[in-house]
Amino acid sequence: MDATPLQIAAFVILGTVFSVYALLDGFDLGIGMLFPWLGTSDKEKSAVLATIAPVWDGNEVWLVMGGAYLFAFFPPAFGGALSTLGAPVLIAVFALMLRAVAFEFWYRKETPRAVWEAVLCIASWLVTLIFGIAFGCVMSGLDITDRGAGALLRSLLSPLPLVTGSAGCALFLLHGLAWSSAKTPVSIAGRARLMVKRVAPIALLTSAAWTLVLAITLPSALSKPLFWIGIALTAAGIAAVTIKPLSERLPLPFYSGLAIAGAMVTALTAHFPSIIRAPLSAGESLTAASSSSSSALLGTMVPFASLWILVIAAFTLFVYRTFKRRTTGEEHGY
């Protein structure tokens, strides 16, 4: 059964929403992961946090949108993935909840800052790692009919999920550091720039390993041009973020973002048309063709979503422009 144009469009919308989520929340997760080491004083840390304070909430909306569109477009995949991956997903969501309040309460001095700093750091690592592993798992094979803890652990800890988690962490770290280099006062930016050069080789290595495992797991990907374009974008992005100077006209996060976008294109191209791939032993995969909502629903929601995503993108760009200046550490005046 081949996917209809509407089903393909639904897949593309879903992929776009999750990719934008990775692109946007990627840098604030990356900053969270390195938060204790990016600034040396409270003022510096405050400047680091101010680079993401106005935008993290909007970034996470894309995750909620992704979940909701999966629910609307491919209900069996939503129910299957979340009920099977319930425990790890809930851990990630709990971590996201704590992270969200950590931003807010770190600024206020009623509770000890060290606590929120630790919460922010640990939660950011957990979220990135779990989402990476879960994404890898959905691509490599997840048996949504067998819900034993042992089977779940085996599919989570298989090669593709593990390299996806590692590459995800490395790319988000790189993205967060690039964002810090572009947005913080010069003293912190210099430090972040040095860290970029140290993290970039790790990102390159893990991404290469990930691509290799992906190609072995899903060999049909090798014949799709987009797969190779994605790889080229990722490699070019990582290279550029390493060698371009801070004064470059296009800011550094553009290049790290390019690397993440490339990786998402690679992954989704290889994954298509599966939504949740079943392991070899467990029957049919859920695909865009077999698990979608009715064409009447897609016919209404696909145009709606396409139009609105453009509108939101415009809004989002506007906010990023409003807060484009480097931070000082004196913000948070409301």
Partner 1 sequence: MESLLLLRIQFGLAIGLHYLFPVATIGLATQILFFQAIGYFTRNETYTRISAWLTAIFAPLFVCGVATGLLMPFLFGTGWSRFSVFSGEIFGSILAIEATVAFTLESVFLAIMLFGKNRVSPRFYLFASFCVFLGTHLSVFFIVAANSWMQTPSGFAVENGHIVVTSLREAILNPSTVARFLHVLTAAWIAGTVIVCALAAGCLLRKKAEAIARPMLTAGAIWLFIMPIAQLILGHEHILNVLHHQPVKSAAYEGIFVTTRSAPLYIAGVPDAKRDTVLFGIRIPGLLSILQAFDPNAEVKGLHEYPRNTWPPVNVIFTTFHAMVGIGFTLIGAGILALFLLVRKKLHTTRWFLTALPWLVPLPFLANELGWIGTEIGRQPWLIWGVLKTADSFTPAVHPGGVIISMIVLVIIYAVLVTALTGALRTIIKAGPGQGAA
Q: Which residues bind partner 1 (CB under 8 A)?
A: 53-55, 57-58, 60-61, 63-65, 67-76, 78-83, 86-87, 89-90, 93-94, 96-98, 100-101, 103-105, 108, 110-111, 147, 149, 293-294, 296-297, 300-301, 304-305, 308-309, 312, 315-316, 318-319, 322-323, 331-334
Write down the least CB distance from residue 53 to partner 1, Å: 6
DSSP letters, 182-250, are: HHS-HHHHHHHHHHHHHHHHHHHHHHHHHHHHHHHH-GGGGG-HHHHHHHHHHHHHHHHHHHS-TT-SS
Report how far apart, in Å, the C-alpha atoms of 323 and of each of 80, 102, 229 are.
40, 21, 32
- Is 139 in contact with 218 (CB distance < 8 Å)? yes
Cα–Cα separations (whole angstroms), residue 210 to 123, 207, 284 = 24, 5, 25
Min. distance of Cβ 107 from partner 1 in angstroms?
9
- 184 contacts 142 by C-beta, under 8 angstroms: no
Nearer to partner 1 among residue 86 and residue 190 (C-beta): 86
Q: Which is nearer to partner 1, 79 or 279 (CB)?
A: 79
DSSP 88: H
Write down the least CB distance from residue 316 to partner 1, Å. Answer: 6
Provide the minimum distance between the beta carbon of 220 and partner 1 in the complex, in angstroms, as a whole number.
Answer: 28
Residue 199 has which token pair? Answer: 């993290």
- Residue 286's DSSP bridge partners are 276
Q: Which is nearer to partner 1, 245 or 333 (CB)?
A: 333
Between 96 and 167, whose beta carbon lies closer to partner 1? 96
Taking the complex as a whole, the smallest distance from the CB of residue 280 to partner 1 amounts, in Å, to 22
Find the shortest distance in angstroms from Cβ 90 to partner 1. Answer: 6
**Alpha-carbon gap, residue 37 to 31, rounded angstroms:** 10
Instruction: State which residue, 179 or 255, has the beta carbon closest to partner 1.
Output: 179
* Least distance (Å) between residue 265 CB and partner 1: 23
Taking a C-beta distance cutoff of 8 angstroms, is the pair 253, 27 a contact?
yes
- Ranges of beta strands (E only) in the chain are 274-276, 286-287
Peptide bond just before 88 cis, omega within 30 deg: no
DSSP H helical segments within the chain, as ranges? 5-38, 42-50, 56-73, 75-84, 86-107, 113-140, 149-156, 159-183, 186-217, 225-243, 252-271, 295-322
Closer residue to partner 1, CB minimum distance, 73 or 255:
73
* Sole residue written with tokens 């995750």: 63
Nearer to partner 1, 247 or 294 (CB): 294
How far apart are CB 334 and partner 1 at their closest, in Å?
5
Determine the residue type at 244: K
3-class secondary structure, 274: strand
Residue placing its CB nearer to partner 1 in the complex, 73 or 227? 73
